[in-house]
Structure 1
Amino acid sequence: MSIRSLAKTYKISRQSVRKYLDLTSPPIYQQRRKGVTLLDDFIDIIATQIEKKATSHSIFKQIQEKGYEGSFSTVHRYPTALRKQLKKEENEQKQSKTAKKISRKIIILLFWRLHEERTLLNDALVRFPQTEEIYIFVQSFRDSLNHYDQSAIHKLIIDSKTYKIQELKSFSTYLHQDIQAILSSIHYTFSNGNIEGQMNRLKTIKRMLYGRASLELLKKRVLYCC
């Protein structure tokens, strides 16, 4: 392969190709040493003043009194970069702290959804083992409803005495009061949605015309909206 082809393939100059071809051993790269600046003797003073929330102008005046002979722009760049770094570190610490907190809202979403965020869910169950019973109940309840499983729903409701968490006992006891209606709603596909919709429409019309029209006008409005 020619030098021109190598230069075109690797997108470097032909002089660079020749230089690397002439090498007898792999090149050794050394990290560039940091240059000496006029601020090196005043870094501690600047850091102390930044902790005290001092401005760049006040820092500049203080280090001038200590013998600094550089420009203000150099002084201004260093505190600005340092403040950004400190703020970044502070935000990272806040995020790490908030990441350890799991609110009740997040717990509810994790328990009800499918296992989309398994890592966070496992972390919640490990940190709060007392919620494992709630998680199992929620998953079983949801699966039973999705599969129209009457026997599973019935078992979840009548097993209220076996639950250790009082809230689950209260919930199951409340469902047990209407257990026949719940089982029938799972078994049959009938719905009173249409009736409820009509009732809501009629009540809305009635509220709109309350105190503003007669019974005859209300009748016409209802028939017009049918």
Structure 2
Amino acid sequence: MQTLLAQGKSLSAVCRDLNLEMGTVRRFARAASLDELLFKATHRVTKLDPFKAYLIDRWNDGQTDAAALFRELLEQGYHGGKLTIRRFLHQFRGHDHVPRPGPRPIKPRHATRWIMTKPDRLSDADRSQLRQIRDRCPELDRTTEYVRAFAVMMTERQGHRLEHWLTTIEGDNLAAMRSLAIGMRRDQDAITNGLTLPHSSGAVEGAVTRVKTIKRAMYGRANLDLLRKRILAKK
């Protein structure tokens, strides 16, 4: 995949050549190394995470039967499968004592919410955790600044700052943000107007949503004439 990309082929062309989904190609294209891909694959947040410390304690107590531990976790609210527990315990085979895991990793959706929330509306605890992960990850720290700068442009109608915002991102080495900037360049005039003018397509989008709701309520069993009458009757 990297060889094809180095030859100048687009992501879409690589998808066709290798018969892969766009998401898979994009993930491999953005990865700086194999270790990065392996880390992401083995450090995903799972349903078992809240119970790992308990499993390690029970293992150290001498309980190594996955089926029995599965039944214990069910009583504590676990909703995952038995195979997940068996796989987790497999790494401890041959060890009588296993150290307890470190702090639970922050879930991506929580970090996203902290970044997307106005800073003065974050609780002290959330603000502290966001500060910690920003200090540990310079890329995330810069991404947070870009997101918040765009939020200011959007809420305060500062469309004149868009050009500088895009230029700054294009000079950075954040692949995802640069890809976003490339897409925004194609509709820059429209985006600038949206960030500047008080007008919006909200009314039109609302009308479209209303029509779709009426259409779906008919479950596809009626013709266009009835749909038209229902739309007019709802005004």
| TM-score, scaled to structure 2 | 0.48
Of the two structures, which has the highest relative contact order with CA contacts closer than 8 Å and spacing of 6 or more?
A: 2
Q: Which has the larger radius of gyration?
A: 1
